[in-house]
Amino acid sequence: MTDAEITYSLEGDVALVGINRPKKRNALHSAMFTQLGDAVERAGHESRAAVIFGVGQHFSAGLDLAQLAESIKGGVQSRAGTGPHSAHVAFDKITRGRIPVVAALTGAVVGAGLEVAASAHIRVADSTAFFGLPEAQRGIFVGAGGSVRIQRLLGNARMTDMMLTGRLLDPEEALAQNLIQYRVDAGEAFERALTIAKRIAANTVESNWAITQGLSRINGLSYDDGLFVETLVAHSALSAESVGRLADFVDKRATALARPDNSNN
């Protein structure tokens, strides 16, 4: 087992990025944000899809609060700096990167851990997962993009409830409230996420990029502007490979679409 706190490996066209502090329930400190972003940026050059997962029983229990407490001992003002937050830069490399990213979620998916998960494009959780935003109980506020990404998934009212009360969501609630897209049995999150990532990697690079980068931007536009940008994105998705794939379909050489496995959503 490597000592690296963020691990990286390749399985075919899929990059595997692990959060590797199992003795600390994969709590994240500031340097890990940068390392995580760099790993996914590397994956964008070496693979066609990626899976982010937690080593051990938990995806991530959130921010390393011991490090945070130490950093503010000299006063809140001493922490002020210029430029974007390191987590914002790092997690944008996930959300706005070259390739689709699937998060495999187990155990604690809390605080900054939930912010990491929300930066992925697809989330798969097993039955051990639980989701929370306990920042208010610690006297802090989300700071790694959660107020944007998680709120867009859950909605304002649900996120406000979670933050004010410390309420935890189980996988069934998370699925019903659009926080995750797949709920699987205990121990199956990584394999399902890898299967999904491999399926995604079989798409054209251009189509994947158009979907992950186009849809989220169109969602924030007016009706007319959205239609205009859709036209631009649709054109950007076309490639020489598109011609061959369309011909394969027309000539009945294309692989038939598989029926979805909805046994565990």
Catalytic positions, written as ranges: 115, 135
pLDDT in tens, 239-263: 877 777 767 777 777 666 565 565 4
pLDDT in tens, 172-219: 999 999 999 999 999 999 999 999 999 999 999 999 999 999 988 898
Please indicate, yes or no, if residue 186 is contained in any of the structural domains. Answer: yes
- Provide the pLDDT confidence category of residue 78 given band limits of 50, 70 and 90: very low
User: How far is residue 199's CA from residue 68's CA, in Å, rounded to a whole number?
Assistant: 39
Contacts of 218 (CB under 8 A, 6+ apart): 226, 229, 230, 233
pTM of the model: 0.88
Considering the chain, what percentage of its residues have pLDDT values greater than 90?
A: 65
Q: Phi and psi for 153 in degrees, rounded to 5? A: -80, -50
Q: Are residues 180 and 229 in the same domain?
A: no
User: How far is residue 19's CA from residue 33's CA, in Å, rounded to a whole number?
Assistant: 10
Please indicate, yes or no, if residue 77 is contained in any of the structural domains. Answer: yes
Parent domain of 147? 6-201
- Total number of domains constituting the chain: 2
| Helix (H) / strand (E) containing 165 | helix 156-165
pLDDT on residue 236: 84
User: Residues 88, 112: contact at Cβ < 8 Å?
Assistant: no
Q: Are residues 110 and 183 in the same domain?
A: yes
Please indicate, yes or no, if residue 255 is contained in any of the structural domains. Answer: no
